[in-house]
Amino acid sequence: MKTRSYLHRSALLLVIFGVLLLNQGCKPRLLPSTNVPATRVNKSIVSFLEHYKSNLEKRSVDSIMELVAKDFKDNMGSEDPANYLDYLGLKERLDKTLPRISDLRLGLFVQHIAKIAKDTYEVVFYFNKHLLVDVPAGEKWISVKEVSRMELRKRQDKDSPYEYEIIKGI
User: 69 with 136, same domain?
Assistant: yes
Q: Are residues 5 and 69 in the same domain?
A: no
- Residues 108, 67 share a domain: yes
69 and 18 within one domain: no
pLDDT of residue 45: 96
- Give yes or no: residues 9 and 59 share one domain: no
The low-confidence residues of the chain, meaning pLDDT below 70, are 1-28
61/162 Cα distance (integer angstroms):
16
Query: What's the confidence (pLDDT) of residue 8?
Result: 63
Map residue 105 onto helix, strand or coil.
strand
pLDDT one-digit tens code per residue, 51-95: 999 999 999 999 999 999 999 999 877 788 878 899 999 999 999
Q: Are 35 and 114 in contact (CB under 8 A)?
A: no
Q: How many domains does the chain have?
A: 2
Same domain, 43 and 76: yes
The residue range of the domain holding 25 is 1-29
- The SS3 of residue 85 is strand
